[in-house]
Amino acid sequence: MKKILIGITALVIILTSCNKENYMDCNCGLVISDNVQDYSVVIRNDCSDNEKTFILAPGDWMNAYVGSNYCISNVTSW
């Protein structure tokens, strides 16, 4: 009985001690502003806090709401 109790306790400790790592995608950031005339958005990078303007396709621009997170897949971190 004592061995079973020790085994269960060890299992509980192992399962509860694992934490997810905080993973930040440096190609993503917060949409600061947008411009309907050229379908551009200004995004503040999650890693560096730098701001950069990106011109998007109209369909992509419709999904990049000001105040939401948005990822740019075809660039390196800015």
Contact yes or no for 71/46 (Cβ under 8 A)? no
Residues 40, 56 contacting (CB under 8 angstroms): yes
Model confidence pLDDT, tens digit, residues 35-66: 999 999 999 999 999 999 999 999 999 999 99
Residue 1's pLDDT is 80
Distances (CA, A) of 5 to 2, 14, 59: 5, 14, 58
Q: What is the pTM of this model?
A: 0.67
